[in-house]
Structure 1
């Protein structure tokens, strides 16, 4: 891992379909994505996403399936 990627910080974001991603801290979020209040190094953000995003189906598909 490079020194630059070790110190770069990200924020966990989620879209209206409840899909998660990370975004560099300080950059404007793309339309439709919302800050989830968790930030840190890339590995920590990805670990947080693994813990909270347990059903990878988009929200509308889950609603159609009734779960």
Structure 2
């Protein structure tokens, strides 16, 4: 595969989330980064973006002592 796999194109799209609640689009043929899990899989990039936008909540910094 050539080019950027996140620029669009054919194939499924994933939405992945980490423990902090950050959401990201991902491709199923790429290795999932450590600490991330799949929460959505579908054939359309726009649907994956919609899912991420509807389920993302603002990240909040955790205060440190």
Shared topology, TM-score over 0.5?
yes
SS in structure 2 at match of 1:7: coil
SS in structure 2 at match of 1:30: coil
Structure (1/2) with the larger helix percentage: 1
- Deviation, 1:16, is 1.4
How many correspondences in the alignment? 56
- The residue number in structure 2 matching 1:28 is 31
CA RMSD, Structure 1 to Structure 2 (Å): 2.1
Mapping of 1:1-67 within 5 angstroms? 5-36=8-39, 38-40=40-42, 41-53=44-56, 55-58=57-60, 61=61, 64=63
- After TM superposition, the score normalised by the length of structure 1 is 0.67
Structure 1: runs of 5 or more not aligned: none
- After TM superposition, the score normalised by the length of structure 2 is 0.68
Structure (1/2) with the larger strand percentage: 1
- Deviation, 1:6, is 4.2
Runs of 4 or more above 3 Å deviation = none
- Deviation, 1:26, is 2.3
